[in-house]
Structure 1
Amino acid sequence: MPILSASVGLTRYRIVEEVEDDLIRSIPNLLVKYAFKDIDHTAEERSFGWVNMDDMLDDKWSISPPEKGQYYTFSLRLDTRRIQPAVLKKHLQIALNHELEEAKKEGKNFISRDRKRELKEQVTLKIRARSLPIPAIFDAVWNVPDNRLYFACSNSKVLDMFEEYFTDTFELTLEPLTPFFLAMDMLGEDAAQKLESLDPTYFVG
């Protein structure tokens, strides 16, 4: 989701560790190292990685650098191939019918369970290779001096992927800034016990 949209759902993070100057200088190189790999000409089901926030096709940051003042900007690109169940069912049935015809020539009237499973895998791979992956883009803005990062997504599965890939790339840990952790950040860790004992207030009777 573009972070410059009229409305956007954001997930806020803080980076747990102190970010060393050497790591900050290496951010552009690490983004390229862990950049998105295209799967248009393969049969892969999914691919994800970093791309330029200014252009989803730029995985070398040749159009513009990731540095924007005190911020680093980049996007997580996720390409996924989806096969409609009805399409798979149709072509699997065609393959099974053909297989049964060949089996009858050898005096057999059935297809083994293992062969059916094998045919399903072959048909799935064939259809996947013929379908184009659907791209999705999720922008990230990293405020380096403040140790804060903003990610334009709130989907739990995408967040898990982003957090894990961010750690793989930069060897840093992201902590979601939920209301509880924001309060901890403002009041200090000594307030943790009091915060945990708070009861919710209901404003609607």
Structure 2
Amino acid sequence: MPVLSGAVTFSRFRSEPTGNAPSDKKRWLSKGLKSGLFEPIDLKKTEDERAAGFVELENHDSTEFSTGAILYGDFALFGFRIDTVKVPAPVLKAELDKWATAFEKQNGRAPTRGEKAENRASIRHMLRQRAVPSTKVHDVSWNLQTQQVQIWAASRKAVDEILLALETAFEVKLQPLVPASLAARAGIKDEELVPTPELIGMEISHNEIPSSEVSHGEA
């Protein structure tokens, strides 16, 4: 649980409402989280390989989002869960080879390409039913006073997905808190952000050094 302990990588953003600011923050939070809540993959009803959405911070299987489970002082803390289900290619190939061997022994011939394709699909479906989804949860910290949002993820792809989910669920725009963005908000022009020669280690030519600072050897 990176928000509460441990050293991790996170990205910082500032939240700006795209409409009117919410009058009831507790209700706004609960409504937003429930609109994008995590729903587990139903292996029997869908062929989806991926599911993603919001969960409670301390219980990744819960999407109740009660006030006590979300609010920690001025902070709203919750998680963004991503589940994936994949059938490893080597496992699928091994099962298909086993079936092809049994087929040839029983029928006295190797299976046709069409028969292989048909059974490959059924074998993949069987293996998928047995698969256990892999789970990854990224923590999100939202300061409701400063409107600073921290996403605890190292992957740029994961950060972008969580950003989109937050902006959609809460009707906000999240601006990255990076030097260029902060400078723009402060009205600092781009040309004023150019590194100085000292910063980038550029050597100063001999002609640029005042004569009073140049030492001469004795004749």
TM-score (normalizing by structure 2): 0.74
RMSD of aligned C-alpha atoms? 3.2
Alignment deviations for residues 35-86 of structure 1 (CA, whole Å, 9 cap, x no partner): 1112265454211111111211221135933122222111001111233332
Paired residue type of 2:82: L
- Inter-partner Cα distance in structure 1 for 2:126 and 2:167: 34
Stretch moving more, 77-86 or 36-45: 36-45
Match of 1:68 among 47, 55, 72: 72
Larger radius of gyration: 2
Contact 2:17 2:171 in 1 (8 A): no
1:4 is aligned to 2:8: no
1:89 is aligned to 2:90: no
- Structure 2 gap segments, 5+ residues each: 204-219
Match of 2:112 among 110, 113, 127: 110
- Structure 1 gap segments, 5+ residues each: none
How many residue pairs align between the two structures?
198
Match of 2:33 among 31, 37, 40: 31
Contact 1:77 1:135 in 2 (8 A): yes
Stretch moving more, 82-91 or 95-104: 95-104
1:52 is aligned to 2:56: yes
- Inter-partner Cα distance in structure 2 for 1:174 and 1:2: 21
TM-score (normalizing by structure 1): 0.78
- Inter-partner Cα distance in structure 2 for 1:100 and 1:167: 56
Alpha carbons of structure 1 residues 62 and 28: separation in structure 2 relative to 1, 3 Å: closer
Alignment deviations for residues 6-37 of structure 1 (CA, whole Å, 9 cap, x no partner): 21211101124366124733211221232111
Q: Hey, what does 1:20 align to over in structure 2?
A: 21
